[in-house]
Amino acid sequence: MNYDVIVIGSGPGGYVAAIRASQLGMKVAVVERAELGGICLNWGCIPTKALLKSAQVYGYLSHAADYGVSVSGDIKADFEAMVKRSRGVAEGMSKGIQFLFKKNKIDHIAGTGKLKSGKVVEVTDAGGKKTDYQANHVILATGARSRELPNLKQDGKKIIGYREAMTLDKQPKSMVVVGSGAIGSEFAYFYHTIGTQVTLVEFMPNVVPVEDEEVSKQLERSFKKSGMKVMTSSTVESVDTSGELCKVTVKTKKGEEIIEAEIVLSAVGISTNLEGLGLEETGVAIDKGKVVVDDFYKTSVDGVYAIGDIVHGPALAHVASHEGILCVEKIAGKHVEPLDYGNIPGCTYTQPEIASVGMTEKAAREAGYEIKVGKFPYSASGKASAAGSKEGFVKVIFDAKYGEWLGAHMIGDNVTEMIAEVVVARKLETTGEEIIKAVHPHPTMSEAVMEAVAAAYDEVIHI
């Protein structure tokens, strides 16, 4: 029962860390109380994208005539079939992790893990039996769950979180979505597209508030154009669930408004899973609900590490994966550099999609940079026009003095696939001139990146 590494949690941080540790010759075990793959594969990133794809297909069919295609009969959204497909995709991915564990000779210990002194992990199985496992290194990767507000307590039926939103028995006729971050906006798009009457409520002045303001405004315009009700600078004061419909009291700049809906989806962020982990007993330092770690994810206790949503930094699957890899490579004695948290891409899979990395224009100006800003609209893109997806743009920001690529912000079809070019270019300290001179294929959406850079340097051809 002795291991080189025991990982508690099998999400995109935990399972990736385990596989990399195994590749480096370590004996590894992963403790997981639920499905392998964690929230991302089972209840987050992957199944939501399956639902969003169903909504996109439904949207295409509903507008088939715009593409010269005649569809006879009514186009109907089979909500139950969409959910079933989504769950099937998630189950397939989880089985894929099982295969990877076998391939890499990683032991899966089913149960709830708790850290004990001396780098011992106590695992309680489904029957309540407790077993101790010894490790040289323990990595905590327990992730997070839907955050609950005091005035928005989730009952799993009328007031729900993202997990229930993926598996409702039937499609609601109406829904209030509270919070317009990636999770809230994606579910608002999904349900609205398949015919649910959606009201999106956001506390901040802009939807997707972490994004560049121009991107936020464009998404709000797109949502409103499609018929969705969007309320910004608004707060949900209370929800009365005593009747058949929820009565949602929303405070706006103009006063209070009551909205009736079948379902209220709370998408106001996440809370870390730190309870019952044994952190206090073993002396692992915590600050503001997050585990305190150094640049390579070592906690205040020797031999104990933490990665992913439970440490400070963006709560994103790809961040957790990279943290896990760096953590175990450092344990193995390899030369590794700290993760550059200033070069982390973020994606929101609405229609239009959103992708960004680096500083917003506002942040760059506030930081004192003299900047060059370039913007290329999708309306000028031949590929976007041919695809019938002319909403959106690519915006880039450069330091005027030294040419550093400070940020890029995109909204439009396919941008989540395009942002990687900017991430790699920034990693390699590529200049704007080099991007302009690098031949981009035509016609593609990705040309818009080169065109936006050219616009920043007054060399743009097509606008």
pLDDT number for residue 20: 98
CA distance 376 to 392: 9
**179 annotated as ligand-binding:** yes
Residue 312 is among the residues annotated as catalytic for this protein: no
pLDDT number for residue 308: 97
**185 annotated as ligand-binding:** yes
Stated as kind and residue range, the H or E segment containing 423 is: helix 415-427
**211 annotated as ligand-binding:** no
Token digits for 20?
């990399």
Cα–Cα distance list, 211 to 38, 204, 365 (Å): 27, 12, 15
Percent of the chain whose predicted confidence (pLDDT) is above 70: 100
Stated as kind and residue range, the H or E segment containing 260 is: strand 255-261
Residue 132 binned pLDDT confidence (cut-offs 50, 70, 90): very high
Given a cut of 90, whether residue 233 has pLDDT beyond it is yes
Cβ burial, residue 29 (10 Å; 0-12/13-18/19+):
buried
Termini Cα distance of the chain: 66
The answer to whether the bond into 352 is cis (omega within 30° of 0) is: yes
Given a cut of 90, whether residue 74 has pLDDT beyond it is no
pLDDT tens-digit map of 188-212? 999 999 999 999 999 999 999 999 9
The pLDDT of 47-55, averaged and rounded, is 97
Given a cut of 90, whether residue 73 has pLDDT beyond it is no
CA distance 415 to 411: 6
pLDDT tens-digit map of 23-49? 999 999 999 999 999 998 999 999 999
Contacts by residues 55-58 (CB-CB < 8 Å, ≥ 24 positions apart): 55/82, 55/189, 55/190, 55/193, 55/194, 55/351, 56/193, 56/351, 58/193, 58/194
CA distance 454 to 396: 10
pLDDT number for residue 190: 98
Given a cut of 90, whether residue 248 has pLDDT beyond it is yes
CA distance 410 to 405: 15
Stated as kind and residue range, the H or E segment containing 81 is: helix 79-103
Query: What would you report as the CA-atom Rg of the chain, rounded to the nearest whole angstrom?
Result: 24
pLDDT number for residue 439: 97
Given a cut of 90, whether residue 296 has pLDDT beyond it is yes
For residue 2, give every residue at least 6 positions away whose Cβ sits within 8 Å of its Cβ, in sequence order, or none: 27, 133, 134, 135
pLDDT number for residue 319: 98
**Secondary structure class of 76 (helix, strand, coil):** coil
The pLDDT of 412-424, averaged and rounded, is 98
pTM of the model: 0.95
**182 annotated as ligand-binding:** yes
Mean pLDDT of the chain: 96
Q: Are 204 and 215 in contact (CB under 8 A)?
A: no
pLDDT number for residue 1: 78
Strand-pair partners of 133: 121
**309 annotated as ligand-binding:** yes
DSSP per-residue string spanning 274-319: -TTS-HHHHT--EETTEE---TT-B-SSTTEEE-GGGBSS---HHH
Residue 287 binned pLDDT confidence (cut-offs 50, 70, 90): very high
Token digits for 63?
């507008």
Residue 72 binned pLDDT confidence (cut-offs 50, 70, 90): confident
From 63, 312, 442, 462, the catalytic residue: 442
pLDDT number for residue 309: 97
Domains of the chain: 2-145+271-341 (3.50.50.60), 159-268 (3.50.50.60), 352-456 (3.30.390.30)
**49 annotated as ligand-binding:** yes
For residue 136, give every residue at least 6 positions away whose Cβ sits within 8 Å of its Cβ, in sequence order, or none: 3, 4, 5, 119, 303
Q: Are 97 and 37 in contact (CB under 8 A)?
A: yes
CA distance 194 to 307: 37
DSSP per-residue string spanning 21-55: HHHTT--EEEEESS-TTHHHHHHSHHHHHHHHHHH
